[in-house]
Structure 1
Amino acid sequence: SVRDPTGASIALYTAKLHHPNKTGNHVVLQALFYLLDRAVESFETQRNGLVFIYDMAGSNYTNFELDLSKKILNLLKGAFPARLKKVLIVGAPVWFRVPYNLLSLLLKEKLRERVQMVKMAELRQHLPRDCLPQHLGGLLPLDASGWNQQLLAGQNGRVDPVDELVGIPLEDSSIHVPGSEAMRPQELLAHLGRLQRSGVYQEYEELRREAPPGTFHCSQSAYNQEKNRYGDVLCLDQTRVRLKPRRNERSDYINASFMDGYKQKNAYIGTQGPLDRTYGDFWRMVWDQNVLLIVMTTRTDEGSRRKCGQYWPLEEGGQEVYGHIAVVNQRVDHHTHYNHTTLELHNTETCEQRHVSHFQYLSWPDYGVPTSAVTLIDFLGAVKRQQRKMVKALGPHWTGHSLGPPMVVHCSAGIGRTGTFCALDICLSQLQDVGSLNVFQTVRRMRTQRAFSIQTPEQYYFCYNAILEHAQRQGLLPSNQ
């Protein structure tokens, strides 16, 4: 019951426990397929993939069949290609490793890239100690109530210790954490140099082609459709924010999605720019989720197009009532590229009051991306400092994550600039923490929560350049590069 640091599920096949004279290949393959098929029903596994460990430690010729090994690897390649992140062949005996072409017999090009032979002692280089299954080497206890035992049960309910597979857990573990393919700034620069703009666009296209791993039933229901700013920008049912129930309310729907941050569950709520008819829902959500900070990355109007409603009182001293939440503008601080507004919220039903900071970034052009990342990253820094300050002010009353409640982030649709802002925050947080990051993995995971996040290849390319620009400013890259 473990996952790797990227949130991938771990499956274990133990060769030592296989006795070909007792159990035919078809039984092993049926069990393996059934267990993996059950595992990928999990939304978390669909999102984060599988790591398959082929444990050969302690096995010998009496446990091994070349034909079965071929079929197992072909099964993984054919049935689970999009989900399979890595295959680790652990503790392979000498007769399996030499001659080396024996491994080549088992693998084909696409899969070969993801397969590594490692010794037991080297496993920590691939998986941290607390992620390693306890039963490597064939020491696998039988779980009397487990459905995998029932599946493999022999006559009279007896189970031979053969072909046992560790069931893949379905618990939630979707936060962004350092993965095995993370790059340091110098490697990121080299990666960008190899790909050039066209290659990065192609990398984005690979992400764009991946279908969202969930459903949109609630967004598409007739009653809720009018609450969507754009008919083609919908919320996944699996990650949508549900409004707390109220008397006489027909729906708990708002076009908003929980999104994980770096080592933080539900760090953001990605949402659309509120519509006139959803102002009340928006402020209900802010209150329900104890939000301290709202990030707005658009103007209300750009060019001749309405991008977002004026959902808060604009002038200092102004006040408006949205549903049962009264909002008072206490102060506006104007900066070169953004405005910071301090709002006081009053719940007219409970007579409670709270403060919320509203940050509006003003320097994102009508179309495309900022010409320089400096102003956006400085804006991100100001947002993070304010969030820390407000969490600290909560004191012992706040018992959640040390980084605080979710931060609401929105643009117009809630996927383009919103996704870009969140991706930069995640990547730069990881860079600061461990010195490496992976843009592709970050955006891929983000899109499993707020579908279609990062709306254009230009925004995806901007993420790369913004990170490198920041790395250079921080002295992590030479200035001449």
Structure 2
Amino acid sequence: ICPIQFLEEINKWTSQHGVSPLSWDVAVKFLMARKFDVLRAIELFHSYRETRLREGIVKLQPHEEPLRSELLSGKFTVLGVRDPSGASIALYTAKLHHPSKTGNHVVLQALFYLLDRAVENFETQRNGLVFIYDMAGSNYTNFELDLSKKILNLLKGAFPARLKKVLIVGAPVWFRVPYNLLSLLLKEKLRERVQMVKMADLREHLPRDCLPEHLGGCLPLDMHSWNLQLLSEQNGRVDPVDELVGIPLENTSIHIPGPEVMSLAELMAHLNRAQRSGIYLEYEELRREQPPGTFTCALAAHNQERNRYGDVLCLDQTRVRLKRSDYINASFMDGYKQKNAYIGTQGPLEKTYGDFWRMVWEQSVLVIVMTTRTDEGGRRKCGQYWPKEEGGQEVYGHIAVVNHRVDKHAHYNQTTLELHNTETFEQRQVTHFQFLSWPDYGVPSSALSLIDFLGAVKHQQQWAAQAFSSQWRGHPLGLPMVVHCSAGIGRTGTFCALDICLSQLQDVGTLNICQTVRRMRAQRAFSIQTPEQYYFCHTAILEHAQRQGLLSANQ
């Protein structure tokens, strides 16, 4: 009866959001993790989904780098034996982690993958999991507090497994303060299961034949082989873990409605209750969260001169790769239920004009959105990377750009450009939108003028995508549009957040601004640069709703 109740409730949600229903086996996994308490199992399911989406872990691809190398590093593994109660034993070896080389995003991907594979086994579902946090021989440089918090948060309430105990073994003296901080995160029930254990006392918790030799046991430890076996088994197999995230396997987007959504009335009530100061504090919490990924390529010495700002970098996991020189400071960003709806990028530098237009051509971009002027306050914010006057022509690398027409509106210019590829002799039309009423670090004086601008952009994008559909082989909802300001995070992030939230509002009548911004920052790091811009998202949506008659003026 329990699996039927669970599936009925969860599949109401999957049906509402247009994704595949959950299977019986998946239902049993979540129910067993919560001792067949249906309400707690449903809560666990959504916590699991939300955690993976928040960390940008949507589809695990274990045969692709950098996840493959992380899986084979031996940092995480599941031992080939069980404890006397039948529980699986997972091992994390802290001394193998080097934060300067591997970002949290990849580590968490590996943890999700290995634990998911471990709990596919019915015996593990029934008897639970023991997690050994092996700190023996580790230094402070191997430790990362934020990563440890995320691992414990995952284990305590966002993973479908019965957690029997967490044994922190061989902890150095300096770990006492971080441990006290970590223990504050834990509910009392779980705090009892987390124990710091000296190496010599570990056998009081697990017998010798369940422990590897370096932890005083008699088990030869081959951390590489179990993980390698999983990778070989995975080849050609669709991993059921992706089903649990609740989004289609192909063209998945991280922006889908989650359980913590708001109606317009609830958004209004939240804004009235929190006031500007409370929304600013909400933004500050988002700002403090570290990006779930690495910036290795953006930080490489030979790429430094391609970054307009040294502290605004693109994540390795979502960056756009050019076919030749490879690097450009640009990131793929999902839209509402649409993979790679945007390319968020910096205002092109003179030395990167050719890279910019090559990216536009390679990614089949038909609409460019510019939310800055080239110069503001006596400072250069963006290069003049297109011919400004009607009839003007410029050549950037192997892309020739011709300005066919400029239509000037109250708050923006719309320019029709024709691109000619001098290598393939193909040509393509691109529409360039430049919004003119948005001060740097500030917000537009009129929210509705920006929303009207967004509407004009969307209309052109839809028309251009339909005209180009016979040549497009990507996402069925259309091609990516380029969105940029100066750094490519403040005004760019605000524009994209408004588009995502308003699209969800139109689709299902709900939205969640905080969740949208958090997910967006996981793809284009630091998106939305100021608390004013975050607050503006709230007020702009409510102004739009009132104009549309969706919310009365006195509500």
Shift of 1:33: 7.8
Which of these residues, 525, 529, 545, is aligned with residue 451 of structure 1?
525
Q: Tell me what 1:479 maps to.
A: 553
Q: Tell me what 2:409 maps to.
A: 335
Q: Structure 1 residues 318, 33: CA separation in 2 closer, same or farther (over 3 Å shift)?
A: same
Which of these residues, 317, 342, 347, is aligned with residue 273 of structure 1?
347
**1:23-102 equivalence runs, <5 A:** 24=83, 28=87, 30-31=89-90, 42=106, 80-81=151-152, 83=154
Which of these residues, 230, 238, 244, is aligned with residue 309 of structure 2?
230
CA distance in 1, matches of 2:292, 2:521: 9
For 1:10-45, what per-residue CA distance to the aligned partner results, in whole angstroms no more than 9, with x for missing partners? 894664999xxx9647862624989xx9xx865885
Contact kept? 1:6, 1:176, Cα under 8 Å: no
Contact kept? 2:494, 2:528, Cα under 8 Å: yes
Is residue 418 from structure 1 mapped to residue 492 from structure 2 by the alignment?
Answer: yes
Q: Tell me what 1:95 maps to.
A: none
For 1:389-411, what per-residue CA distance to the aligned partner results, in whole angstroms no more than 9, with x for missing partners? 11111243334323321100000
Contact kept? 2:83, 2:89, Cα under 8 Å: no
Contact kept? 1:308, 1:412, Cα under 8 Å: yes
Is residue 442 from structure 1 mapped to residue 508 from structure 2 by the alignment?
Answer: no
* Paired amino acid for 2:87: V
**1:243-262 equivalence runs, <5 A:** 243-245=322-324, 251-262=325-336
Which of these residues, 380, 386, 398, is aligned with residue 460 of structure 2?
386
Q: Tell me what 1:176 maps to.
A: 255
Shift of 1:471: 1.3
For 1:439-463, what per-residue CA distance to the aligned partner results, in whole angstroms no more than 9, with x for missing partners? 1111111111101100111111111
Contact kept? 2:345, 2:485, Cα under 8 Å: yes
Q: Tell me what 2:394 maps to.
A: 320
Shift of 1:269: 0.3
CA distance in 1, matches of 2:340, 2:155: 26
Contact kept? 1:431, 1:437, Cα under 8 Å: yes
Shift of 1:87: 5.2
Identical columns (%) = 66
TM-score of the superposition, structure 1-length normalised? 0.71
* Paired amino acid for 1:232: D
* Paired amino acid for 1:235: C
User: How many residues in Structure 1 have an aligned counterpart in Structure 2?
Assistant: 393
CA distance in 1, matches of 2:302, 2:434: 31
CA distance in 1, matches of 2:492, 2:255: 17
Contact kept? 1:275, 1:308, Cα under 8 Å: yes
For 1:356-410, what per-residue CA distance to the aligned partner results, in whole angstroms no more than 9, with x for missing partners? 0000000112441113310000000000000011111124333432332110000
CA RMSD of aligned residues (A): 4.3
Q: Tell me what 1:407 maps to.
A: 481
Larger proportion of helix: 2
Shift of 1:478: 1.0
Q: Structure 1 residues 45, 194: CA separation in 2 closer, same or farther (over 3 Å shift)?
A: farther
Q: Structure 1 residues 14, 321: CA separation in 2 closer, same or farther (over 3 Å shift)?
A: same
Q: Structure 1 residues 43, 238: CA separation in 2 closer, same or farther (over 3 Å shift)?
A: farther
Contact kept? 2:253, 2:336, Cα under 8 Å: no
* 4+ runs deviating over 6 angstroms: 2-7, 46-49, 108-113, 148-151
Contact kept? 2:255, 2:336, Cα under 8 Å: yes
For 1:204-236, what per-residue CA distance to the aligned partner results, in whole angstroms no more than 9, with x for missing partners? 111111111111111111111000000100111
SS in 2 for 1:396: coil
CA distance in 2, matches of 1:225, 1:149: 37
SS in 2 for 1:327: strand
5+ residue gaps, structure 1: 91-107, 116-145, 152-165, 246-250
CA distance in 2, matches of 1:480, 1:201: 24
For 1:389-435, what per-residue CA distance to the aligned partner results, in whole angstroms no more than 9, with x for missing partners? 11111243334323321100000000000000000000000000000
Q: Structure 1 residues 297, 83: CA separation in 2 closer, same or farther (over 3 Å shift)?
A: farther
Contact kept? 1:214, 1:236, Cα under 8 Å: yes
Greater CA drift, 207-216 or 380-389: 207-216
CA distance in 1, matches of 2:319, 2:553: 43
Is residue 362 from structure 1 mapped to residue 436 from structure 2 by the alignment?
Answer: yes
Tell me which of the two structures has the higher relative contact order, counting C-alpha pairs closer than 8 angstroms and 6 or more residues apart: 1
Contact kept? 1:326, 1:347, Cα under 8 Å: yes
5+ residue gaps, structure 2: 1-10, 36-80, 98-103, 132-147, 162-182, 191-224, 231-238, 244-248
SS in 2 for 1:270: strand
CA distance in 1, matches of 2:268, 2:110: 30
Q: Structure 1 residues 80, 448: CA separation in 2 closer, same or farther (over 3 Å shift)?
A: same
Q: Tell me what 2:211 maps to.
A: none
Contact kept? 1:43, 1:214, Cα under 8 Å: no
For 1:262-318, what per-residue CA distance to the aligned partner results, in whole angstroms no more than 9, with x for missing partners? 010000000000000000000000000000000000000011010000000000000
TM-score of the superposition, structure 2-length normalised? 0.62
